[in-house]
């Protein structure tokens, strides 16, 4: 390949940090699409919306971006529940011909509206936030320096992943969400209301995407169209993971992060090929192993 | 028969327009409207009849445009040959992409088509001969005999393409192919079980749809005298191609035509008078509105109105 070993090592290290971040931004989609089967192509747009909300809150109250993201979770939780309720009433319940096609078109339209709404409200300029850890870097070994912001995002990603995994496996509601994904009619027979559980789960998925959004704006500047870069990444991670698998999401995020950062430093590929990495990965998985790494 | 008379009237009207109107911008805008008629009609063959959402319109459109541009750069071939090559290349892409992805369920197929678009764009960004990321400047040849301006000629070419693609879509809709595709849309398992060759039908639809999108893209390099990856593989084409059938109605060949004419005329007006962002916002709002409130589109609304009387 012609890449010096130390450069490769650095790329892998950076890829791991990037991968943790990718896993975290895909968590919400892993729940909403992976477990609930909702074709939520607006997920990256909602996340970018979260970035802008973080931007506004940080600007107004001078909070730390992560604290701001956390403070916004209840709002996004309610927003998510409302979106799912609407989606359910209009598409899932009525069902019928083409409900699937229209559901996808619906979320596509929502993504467009969010994207353009952000352009109209904030313009196309890049936005960023200030925090003590942004702009600093930590020295690791002799000459490898890692930006603090990436490290912080990685840390938040790990915490978020662990919290969500524990929630899904230990709590009553978490298990109920998994049960809905596995066998909805059975759940209905047990006397539980699958729609309420799904609504709750979609709320959680949306709440995690505002945290993802605040990480996004920590990692780098954000502009309204950035969601398009994340459609490929998030769906690649979720599909590679095997729909709805949390451990799989982490593994898939790492695979994507490392592949991207190696392609980035590769002498004959470089930055112009990086956006295609996630999509090529996605097509390969869909062709070779559609159930993903940890598929059900 | 009625359809063919109507088509002839529309064709005659467009030709008369080209002969009488001498306002260049009209053809510039009209070309775009007609192009979206082709794209939406092509999209509807797979999306409307078979229920497979294709986000990859820019991939087929862009491949068509680039095939034409590269052929022109290499051999200075006439427009007709450029279009033919574009149809073949985009058709092949449709066949190949279909083979790879049509076994996938709804949303997976949709995401896979976005993947195809990004990969195509990346390939052309990295292809030096085709201009790379900066693009390729092309010198338009003289227009062919009866036409005094090249834009007018392209307008007529696109008008004929639009009529041809509507005729093809209508043929498919009414033949056993269309019935098979509708069976796929309503229940793929049931169709398969009753002996409908589902994969072959979907592949056919994907190939024809792709080829038509390629044809829609082929005159683009000549239209702009320029080609460049970011705008050629732009998501805008996917948005228009999806929104128009959804607004007009996906069940009938007339739906995408009505949707495309309304939507892109409106877009032309809003882009010029307000702003490009408002224009995209409008498309998003209309798309969501129709998908939620009028799932059968404008054609469906009219049908319901007629039935009630």
Report chain B residues whose CB lies below 8 A from the CB of A108: 55, 239, 242, 287
> Is the Cβ–Cβ distance between A270 and A17 less than 8 Å?
no
Note whether B294 contacts A: Cβ–Cβ < 8 A: no
pLDDT of residue B168: 93
- Is it the case that residue A97 has pLDDT exceeding 60? no
pLDDT of residue B65: 93
Four-residue CA torsion sign, A105, B299, B286, B221: positive
Lookup: tokens for A59: 């600007």
pLDDT of residue A71: 93
Four-residue CA torsion sign, B268, B269, B272, B274: negative
- Measured in whole angstroms, the distance separating CA B192 from the mean position of its chain's CA atoms is 29
Domain-located, residue A225: yes
- Nearest of B94, B113, B43, B82 to residue B257 by alpha carbon: B43
Domain boundaries, position A27: 5-288
pLDDT digits (tens, 9 = 90+) for B14-70: 888 777 777 778 888 889 999 999 999 999 999 888 888 888 899 999 999 999 999
pLDDT of residue B206: 93
Q: How far apart are alpha carbons A174 and A167 in whole angstroms? A: 5
Give this complex's ipTM: 0.84
Note whether A159 contacts B: Cβ–Cβ < 8 A: no
pLDDT band of residue A142 (cuts 50, 70, 90) is low
Report the residue of chain A nearest B238, measured CA to CA.
A108
Place of tokens 């107004």: A60
Find the range with the poorest average confidence among A130-144, A197-211, B132-146: A130-144
A296: number of Cβ within 10 Å: 13
Who among B108, B121, B292 is closest to A286 (CB)? B108
Q: How far apart are alpha carbons B112 and B137 in whole angstroms? A: 31
- Is it the case that residue B104 has pLDDT exceeding 80? no
pLDDT of residue A128: 84
- Is it the case that residue B199 has pLDDT exceeding 70? yes
User: DSSP code of A220?
Assistant: S
Q: How far apart are alpha carbons A13 and A138 in whole angstroms? A: 13
Of residues B218 and A288, the one with the higher pLDDT is B218
- Rounded mean pLDDT, B179-191: 86
**Mutation site for A-interface testing, chosen from B117, B122, B282, B283 by largest number of A Cβ within 10 Å:** B122
Of residues A243 and B169, the one with the higher pLDDT is B169
Q: B250 and A101: CB-CB below 8 Å?
A: yes
Is this model's pTM higher than 0.80 or not? Answer: yes
> Is the Cβ–Cβ distance between B34 and B155 less than 8 Å?
yes
Report the residue of chain B nearest A117, measured CA to CA.
B281
Domain-located, residue A296: no
Report the residue of chain A nearest B47, measured CA to CA.
A101
pLDDT digits (tens, 9 = 90+) for B40-55: 999 999 988 888 888 8
Domain-located, residue A182: yes
Q: Could you tell me what percent of chain A has a pLDDT over 70? A: 96
Report chain A residues whose CB lies below 8 A from the CB of B112: 282-283, 286
Count structural domains, chain A. 1
Domain-located, residue A106: yes
Q: B112 and A283: CB-CB below 8 Å?
A: yes
Domain-located, residue A23: yes
Who among B100, B185, B278 is closest to A98 (CB)? B185
Lookup: tokens for A274: 């990086």
- Is it the case that residue A101 has pLDDT exceeding 90? no
Domain boundaries, chain B: 27-232
Looking at beta carbons, which pairs linking A157-162 to residues 24 or more positions away fall under 8 Å?
Answer: A157/A20, A157/A21, A157/A23, A157/A24, A157/A215, A158/A20, A160/A24, A160/A27, A160/A208, A160/A211, A160/A212, A161/A20, A161/A23, A161/A24, A161/A27, A161/A246, A161/A249, A161/A250
- Is it the case that residue A127 has pLDDT exceeding 70? yes
pLDDT band of residue A95 (cuts 50, 70, 90) is low
Who among A41, A97, A280 is closest to B119 (CB)? A280
* Residue B300 to chain A, least CA–CA distance (Å): 14
**What integer best gives the mean pLDDT of chain B?**
87
**Mutation site for A-interface testing, chosen from B48, B295, B296, B299 by largest number of A Cβ within 10 Å:** B295
């Amino acid at each position: 390949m012609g890449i010096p070993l130390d450069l490769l090592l650095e790329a892998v290290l950076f890829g791991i940090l990037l991968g943790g971040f990718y896993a975290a931004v895909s968590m919400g989609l892993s729940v909403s699409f992976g477990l609930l089967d909702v074709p939520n192509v607006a997920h990256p747009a909602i996340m970018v919306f979260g970035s802008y909300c973080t931007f506004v809150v940080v600007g107004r109250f001078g909070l730390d971006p992560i604290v701001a993201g956390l403070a916004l979770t209840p709002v996004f939780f309610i927003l998510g529940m409302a979106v799912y309720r609407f989606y359910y009433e209009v598409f899932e319940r009525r069902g019928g011909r083409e409900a699937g096609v229209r559901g996808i078109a619906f979320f596509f339209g929502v993504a467009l509206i969010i994207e353009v709404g952000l352009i109209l409200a904030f313009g196309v300029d890049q936005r960023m936030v200030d925090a003590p850890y942004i702009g600093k870097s930590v020295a690791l070994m002799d000459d490898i320096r890692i930006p603090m912001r990436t490290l912080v995002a990685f840390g938040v990603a790990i915490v978020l992943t662990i919290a969500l995994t524990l929630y899904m496996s230990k709590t009553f509601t978490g298990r109920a969400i998994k049960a809905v994904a596995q066998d909805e009619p059975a759940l209905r027979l047990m006397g539980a209301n699958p729609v309420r559980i799904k609504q709750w789960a979609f709320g959680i998925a949306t709440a995690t995407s505002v945290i993802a959004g605040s990480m996004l704006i920590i990692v780098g500047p954000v502009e309204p169209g950035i969601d398009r870069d994340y459609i490929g990444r998030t769906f690649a991670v979720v599909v590679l993971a095997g729909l709805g698998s949390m451990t799989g999401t982490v593994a898939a995020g790492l695979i994507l992060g490392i592949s991207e950062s190696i392609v980035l430093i590769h002498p004959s590929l470089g930055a112009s090929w990086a956006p295609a990495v996630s999509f090529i990965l996605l097509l390969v998985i869909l062709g070779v192993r559609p159930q993903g790494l940890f598929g059900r | 028969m009625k359809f063919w008379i109507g088509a002839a009237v529309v064709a005659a009207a467009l030709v008369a327009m080209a002969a009488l109107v001498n306002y260049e911008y009209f053809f510039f805008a009209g070309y775009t409207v007609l192009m979206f008629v082709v794209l939406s009609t092509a999209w509807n063959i797979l999306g409307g009849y078979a229920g497979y959402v294709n986000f990859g319109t820019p991939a087929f459109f862009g491949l068509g445009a680039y095939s034409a541009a590269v052929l022109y750069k290499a051999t200075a071939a006439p427009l007709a040959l450029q279009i033919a090559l574009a149809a073949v290349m985009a058709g092949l892409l449709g066949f190949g992409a279909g083979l790879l992805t049509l076994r996938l369920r709804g949303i997976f197929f949709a995401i896979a088509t976005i993947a195809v678009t990004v990969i195509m764009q990346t390939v052309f960004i990295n292809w030096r001969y085709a201009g790379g990321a900066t693009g390729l400047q092309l010198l338009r040849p003289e227009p062919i005999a009866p036409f005094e301006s090249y834009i007018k000629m392209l307008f007529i070419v696109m008008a004929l393409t639009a009529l041809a693609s509507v005729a093809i879509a209508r043929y498919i809709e009414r033949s056993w192919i269309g019935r098979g595709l509708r069976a796929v849309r309503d229940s793929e398992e049931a169709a398969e079980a009753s002996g409908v060759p589902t994969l072959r039908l979907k592949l056919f639809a994907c190939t024809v749809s792709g080829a038509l999108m390629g044809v829609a893209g082929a005159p683009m390099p000549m239209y702009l005298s320029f080609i460049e990856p970011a705008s050629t593989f732009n998501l805008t084409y996917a948005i228009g191609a999806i929104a128009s059938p959804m607004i007009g109605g996906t069940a009938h060949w007339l739906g995408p035509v009505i949707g495309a004419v309304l939507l892109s005329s409106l877009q032309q007006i809003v882009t010029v008078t307000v702003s490009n962002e408002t224009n995209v916002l409008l498309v998003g709002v209309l798309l969501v509105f129709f998908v939620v409130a009028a799932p059968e589109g404008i054609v469906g609304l009219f049908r319901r109105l007629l039935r009630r009387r």
